[in-house]
Amino acid sequence: MSKIGNYKFLVLRRIVQICILLLFWGTNHFGWTVLKGNLSSAKVLDRFYLADPFAVLQILATGTIVSFDIIIGVVIVVIFYGLFVGRSFCSWVCPVNIVTDMAAYLRRKGLGGNKYLKLTRSARYYIIILSLIMTVILGVAAYEIINPIGFVVRGVVFGFGIGGTLLLVIFLFDLLVLKNGFCGHLCPVGGLYSLISRYRLLKVRLDNDKCSSCMDCKVVCPEVQVLGIVGKKSGNISQGECTNCGRCIEVCEDKALRFKLF
Amino acid sequence: MQNKSKISRSDLLKGLVKNGGLMMLGGLPWAAYVEENKEEEFVLRPPGAIKEDDFIKSCIKCGICVEECPYDTLKLAKASDDALTGTPFFTPREIPCYMCTDIPCVEACPTNSLLKDLVIDKESDKYNINKADMGVAVIDQNNCLAYWGIRCDACYRACPLMDEAITLDVKRNERTGKHAMMKPIINPDVCTGCGMCEHACITEKAAIFVLPKEKALGKVNNDYIKGWESEDENRIDSTNFYIDKNKVDKSTLDYLNDTESLLNDE
């Protein structure tokens, strides 16, 4: 396999992630009308809205009735990710992923710290519950105030403030404290996408007859637990936590892994 | 059946206590930060904004209103700003609200945090920016040149509702004996809080400035009614302050004439 072919999904993901940021930025600076707003809620082509399900869930938890535009926006997002492409938001859209992937890469190169912290990957689901409890008690969307995705996208579109340092905190946390710490353990936005992505159409499929059990895929996978079947039996990677990033497919020398639609 | 459940009751309780404790460990500092971040009372919101408490609940922090604002008046709050992170606000001394007649910020809001009904004239069903209620201008009379007797009417001229929201009170200048004092007076019922006066004020730190109405204005309870204004009397009807609904059936006279209840000592 050629060197470029080894990174085709990675390159494609970075292009998609940066283009989306660029569209948000350009809309604000040059008056484009393609993608107005940010990842909390965006107006597409000046026609309809998209909305982040977790942000809307928190708004509902404050006891506020959301508008029809926003309900439609959430339904579109939930159907697109939940039924079709799964948790692809995390690896194809979210800009924090660029930073945490970088930290994971440096870790593999031996620059990172040890695993100082032992944390269950279910922590994100507890954080979802905690966010909603706090939202009900405090009367304001609790996670949206510390959401690093919000800080990054607002930073790119409207200018970075002190909140931009949160990105550095996440980078250092992932690099020095816990491997795949933020995206793979803590982030409740990714957690919610995981919860709705179980029955998606786009999945990674393993052909065990070709697999030589080299475990290269497990080295790069940000959610290793989803690759439990590798070296054991053929099948789909069906867990909702899989972000469909395609890194496992790229690194597989045996071509035992591929995307499958059904 | 008993073999099926591998977790004993004491393990379950321990787990609950442990995980509950962990959630509190993370949740309490987080809650403190959120609470600190939302407690801000001097923030000016865009036109058509609903009540501050409801506004911070419903705003999704998309920033579309900020992008729509043609004068870059609206800013999206950063973590270090006073307003709740990610919500829109404006600082009139820097850029005031220039009162667009088509109100693009309100038009664009997807969550109704900027509510069209608040800035629409019911009769004509069209936007009327003069219905905006962003705040109210107040004057520091000690530092206002016009109150010193120096001729300045910058705020009066800047006001988009000149002679309605700001009027000039012309008085004789007793100090010189031959000049006029032209003191600006604000009418809080008309003032929209756009802040063009604050922007125009010529003193180093503005002597006229906009505050949220919640902060700048007092409130009279129903003990005091302007009897000479029929509209003000409506305030009585809108409350149950004077009327105990359980007793309205009988008048005071009925009570005095009701001998039966006086005799029957129930």
Pick from A196, A216, A243: which residue ends a domain?
A196
Sign of the C-alpha dihedral, residues B36, B40, B46, B48? Answer: positive
Q: Chain B closest CA to A252's CA: distance in Å? A: 38
Contacts of B56 in chain A (CB under 8 A): 139-140
Cβ A161–B30 below 8 Å, yes or no? no
Q: Give the minimum alpha-carbon distance from B241 to chain A in angstroms, rounded to a whole number.
A: 30
Range of the domain at A25: 5-196
- The pLDDT, as a whole number, for residue B163 is 93
- CA A209 to chain centroid, in Å, comes to 31
The confidence score (pLDDT) of residue A1 equals 43
pLDDT given for residue B65 in this prediction: 94
Report residue A23 as tokens. Answer: 């569209």
Helix (H) or strand (E) holding B254: helix B252-257
CA distance B79 to chain A (A): 6
Residues A116 and A160 in one domain: yes
Which residues have C-beta within 8 Å of that of residue B152, sequence separation ≥ 6?
Answer: B144, B145, B146, B202
Question: What's the gap in Å between the CA of A106 and the closest CA on chain B?
Answer: 28
Q: Which residues pair with B76 in a beta bridge?
A: B88
Residues A33-54 have a mean pLDDT of 90
Cβ B132 vs Cβ A95: under 8 Å? no
Specify the pLDDT at position A161: 81
pLDDT of residue B128 exceeding 80: yes
Own/partner pairs, A161-165, CB within 8 angstroms, 24+ separation: A161/B78, A161/B79, A161/B80, A161/B81, A162/B78, A162/B79, A162/B80, A163/B78, A163/B79, A163/B80, A163/B85
Mean pLDDT, residues A174-198 taken together: 92
Rounded Cα–Cα distance for residues B62 and A69 (Å): 13
Q: What is the pLDDT of residues B174-183, one digit of tens each?
A: 999 999 999 9
Nearest CA in chain A to B56: A140
Here the CATH number for the domain that contains residue B53 is: 3.30.70
Contacts of A240 (CB under 8 A, 6+ apart): A86, A87, A193, A194, A195, A196, A197, A198, A200
Residue A46 at interface with chain B, using a CB cutoff of 8 Å: no
Inter-chain CB pairs, A–B, below 8 Å: 126
Same domain, A26 and A119: yes
Model confidence at A162, pLDDT cuts 50, 70, 90, reads confident
Q: Calculate Rg over the CA atoms of chain A.
A: 19
In a domain, B226, yes or no: no
pLDDT value of residue B164: 94
Can you tell me the mean pLDDT for B179-192? 94
Span A71-89, pLDDT tens digits? 999 999 999 999 999 999 9
CB contacts, 8 Å: B63 with chain A: 28, 37-38, 154, 157-158
Task: Judge: B38–A133 Cβ closer than 8 Å, yes or no.
Answer: no
How far apart, in whole angstroms, are the C-alpha atoms of residue A202 and residue A9? 14
Q: Beta-carbon neighbour count of residue A198 at 10 Å?
A: 13
Instruction: Name the token pair of B140.
Output: 């520091």
The pLDDT-based confidence of B1 (bands split at 50, 70, 90) is very low
Q: Is residue A250 domain-shared with residue A213, that is, in the same domain?
A: yes
Question: Which residues partner with B127 through β-bridges?
Answer: B120
Return the pLDDT at B235: 73
Q: Which residues contact A10 (CB under 8 A, 6 or more apart)?
A: A245, A246, A247, A250
Q: Yes or no: say if A148 and A160 are a contact pair by the CB < 8 Å rule.
A: no
* Contact residues, chain A, for B84 at CB < 8 Å: 140, 145
Query: Higher model confidence: residue A170 or residue B5?
Result: A170
Query: Is residue B254 one of the residues assigned to a domain?
Result: no
State residue B234's pLDDT score.
76
Whether B129 contacts B192, CB under 8 Å:
yes
- pLDDT mean over A124-128: 93
At B261, the pLDDT band (50, 70, 90 cuts) reads low
Cα(B151)–Cα(A228) distance, integer angstroms: 82
Across-strand partners of A43? A36, A49
Domain, as residue range, for B208: 135-218
| Same domain flag for B45 and B73 | yes
Q: What is the dihedral of CA A177, B79, A189, A63, to 10 degrees?
A: 140
Are A63 and B57 a contacting pair at CB < 8 A?
yes
Could you report the per-residue pLDDT of A235-261, keeping only the tens digit for each? Answer: 888 889 999 999 999 998 888 898 988
**Closest chain A C-alpha to B60 CA, distance in angstroms:** 6
How far apart CA B78 and CA A153 sit, in angstroms, is: 12
Say what the pLDDT of residue A118 is.
84
Do A207 and A223 fall into the same domain? yes
Within a domain: residue B84? Answer: yes
Q: Tell me which amino acid residue A214 is.
A: C
B31 part of contact set with chain A, CB < 8 Å: yes
Q: CB–CB of A56 and B53 under 8 A?
A: no
Q: How confident is the model at residue A195 (pLDDT cuts 50, 70, 90)?
A: very high
When pLDDT is averaged across residues B3-28 and rounded to a whole number, the result is: 82
- Tell me which of A196, A217, A236 is where a domain ends: A196
Q: Which residues of chain B does A157 touch, with a Cβ-Cβ cutoff of 8 Å?
A: 63
Q: What count of Cα atoms within 13 Å lies in the side-chain half-sphere of residue B15?
A: 6
Residue B20 lies in a domain: no
Q: How confident is the model at residue B220 (pLDDT cuts 50, 70, 90)?
A: confident
More confident residue, B170 or B238: B170
With CB atoms and an 8 Å threshold, state whether B64 touches A41: yes
| B47/B108 same-domain check | yes
Question: How far apart (Å, rounded) are the C-alpha atoms in residues A144 and A55?
Answer: 7
Chain B residues close to A150, C-beta within 8 Å: 61, 85-86
